[in-house]
Amino acid sequence: MNINEIAKLAGVSRATVSRYLNDGYVSEEKKERIRKVIEQTGYKPSAQAQMLRTRKTGQVGVIIPKINSESISRMVAGISTVLKEAGFQLLLADTENKEKEELEYLRLFSENQVDGIILIATIFTPEHKKALKGLCVPIVILGQQLAGYSCVYQDDYHAARAAAEMLAGSGAEKIGCIGVTKRDRAVGEARKKGFLDAMEEAGIDWKEAYYEECGFSAQDGYEAAERLFAREPELDGVFCATDTIALGAMARIRETGRNVPEQVAVAGVGDTASGRLVIPRLSSVHFYYKTSGQEAARLLLELMNGTVPGKEVKMTYSVVERDTTRRQKENFRKS
């Protein structure tokens, strides 16, 4: 079955069927005749032919830093909800936190004519900025803020500050920090700054020896806590840049014979399911990751409809205090 046969059965011209398929003007009476023929025959227009006519693929590229992440999966779920409803298919690209892979997928998606790109970003090198500038399709950046581009990002600074304030409020006086590279301006730089400002506000003495840097996995958090407590065994609190890092750190802290929270209070950021289920339950800050994915998808749809890039959406957060920071100062016993 092809467009000529549809036209013959409906008693209209080939051009009329073409206009119908491409949302052009067709009288209501002819629309109904064409619709009935298509419904009866099960005709489906060629996707390739439609792409050639409309220069649209109906596909959106989504570049993610890692696939085995609860926060990323929540963002992708939000993106998918909005874009599928709008008739788009998602093409997922997992970079495994490799800069070169990110750059390569930006190039591939742009050259292979997806209608738009959502980049769940971590860092911006000069090469990234050059690649973004050279894109020929709309892009929305999710998870980071970059001037001149449409972005959806978390309030990382204030979220980290709130988590650190929970630790200070628990009675901890020597508080360590396990963070990630400051090249990641959101999770690394902004969250560390929020933590440090909370320490200053609380009047807690802090020194750089209380800081340890690591990757994003629970194993990374475990190993960072091992290094941190070997160097500073008197620490009685730990702020972790993510919940996943915090879970690894808690495992190592407990292996050393210290109790959480009685001897070491712990707080993370992200409010993951794992943090809610572990015993003791992890105090954290909740980010609305699925909603941020939905907001990014809506921004992309606006861009694809011709709006000017540059709109920024900063998401809210909520503090969730659980067991790992709940203790009485008078009952606190240092290790």
pLDDT of the chain, 335 residues: tens digit per residue: 788 888 888 999 988 887 887 777 889 999 899 889 888 888 776 554 554 444 567 899 999 999 888 999 999 999 999 999 999 999 999 999 899 999 999 999 988 779 999 999 999 999 999 999 999 899 999 999 999 999 999 999 999 999 999 999 999 999 999 999 999 999 999 999 999 999 999 999 999 999 999 999 999 999 999 999 999 999 999 999 999 999 999 999 999 999 999 999 999 999 999 999 999 999 999 999 999 999 999 999 999 998 899 999 999 999 999 999 986 544 444 43
- Which tokens in the block code for residue 103? 């750059």
Contact 82, 297 (CB under 8 A): yes
Q: How far is the C-alpha of 8 from the C-alpha of 5, rounded, in Å? A: 5
According to DSSP, the residues that pair with 90 across neighbouring strands are 60
305 CB-contact burial (10 Å; exposed 0-12 / middle 13-18 / buried 19+): exposed
| DSSP track, 40-105 | HHT----HHHHHHHHS--SEEEEEES-SS-HHHHHHHHHHHHHHHHTT-EEEEEE-TT-HHHHHHH
| Pair 332, 236: CB distance under 8 Å | yes
pLDDT of residue 330: 45
Q: For residue 314, what are the β-bridge partners? A: 153
Residue 133 burial (CB count, 10 A):
9
- Phi and psi, residue 62, nearest 5°: -120, 115
Residue 40 near residue 241 (C-beta atoms within 8 A): no
| pLDDT score, position 46 | 57
User: pLDDT value at position 328?
Assistant: 54
Q: Would you state the structure tokens that stand for residue 117, as one six-digit string?
A: 């790109």
126-133 vs 99-111: helix axis angle to the nearest 10?
Answer: 10
Q: Is the pTM of this model over 0.85?
A: no
Query: Would you state the pLDDT for residue 48?
Result: 46
Give the pLDDT of residue 177.
98
Nearest residue to 269 via CA among 167, 173, 174, 142: 167
